[in-house]
Amino acid sequence: MSLPPYFSTTYAGDKPLRAAVIGAGYLGRFHAMKYAMIPGVDLVGIVDASHDRVTSVSEELGVKGYTDYNDLLDSVDLVTISTPTPSHYRITETCLNAGIHVLVEKPITVTVEEADELIDIADRMNLVLQVGHLKRFHPAVVALRNSEVIKQPLFIESQRLAPFKSRALDVDVVLDLMIHDVDLILSFVNSELVDIDAIGGKVVTKFTDIANTRLKFANGCVANVTASRVAGDSTRRIQIFQDDAFVSLDFINSDIKIMQRTSGEMELDGINVPAIKKTDIPIKKYDTLEAEIRSFCESVRQGTPPLVSGRDGRKALAVVTKIRESIANNLGAS
Residue 66 has pLDDT above 90, yes or no: yes
pLDDT greater at residue 260 or residue 323? 323
| Amino acid at position 12, single letter | A
Dihedral of alpha carbons 312, 316, 318, 319, sign: positive
Mean pLDDT of 84-103: 97
Per DSSP, the residues of 42-79 read EEEEEE-S-HHHHHHHHHHHT-EEES-GGGGGGG-SEE
Structural domains of the chain sorted by starting position, each given as residue range(s) with its CATH number in brackets: 5-133+289-308 (3.40.50.720), 136-286+318-333 (3.30.360.10)
Whether this model's pTM surpasses 0.75 = yes
Integer Cα distance of 19 and 45 in angstroms? 7
Q: What is the pLDDT of residue 166?
A: 73
Q: What is the pLDDT of residue 332?
A: 67
**Cβ atoms of 76 and 19 closer than 8 Å:** yes
Given its phi and psi angles, is residue 27 left (phi above 0), alpha (psi -120 to 50 degrees) or beta?
A: alpha
Nearest-Å Rg of the Cα atoms of the chain is 21
User: What confidence category does residue 13 fall into, taking pLDDT thresholds of 50, 70 and 90?
Assistant: low
For residue range 118-132, what is the model confidence (pLDDT) as tens digits?
Answer: 999 999 999 999 999
Q: What is the pLDDT of residue 232?
A: 87
User: What confidence category does residue 4 fall into, taking pLDDT thresholds of 50, 70 and 90?
Assistant: very low
User: What confidence category does residue 81 fall into, taking pLDDT thresholds of 50, 70 and 90?
Assistant: very high
Mean pLDDT of 178-205: 95
Integer Cα distance of 240 and 184 in angstroms? 11
First-to-last alpha carbon distance for the chain, in angstroms, is 45
pLDDT greater at residue 171 or residue 228? 228
User: What confidence category does residue 333 fall into, taking pLDDT thresholds of 50, 70 and 90?
Assistant: low
Cite the beta strand spans of the chain per DSSP E.
17-22, 41-47, 64-66, 78-81, 101-105, 129-132, 155-161, 193-201, 210-217, 222-228, 235-242, 245-250, 255-268, 271-280
Percent of the chain with pLDDT strictly greater than 90: 78
Integer Cα distance of 129 and 108 in angstroms? 10
Integer Cα distance of 255 and 239 in angstroms? 12
| Amino acid at position 292, single letter | E
Centroid of chain to Cα 149: 22
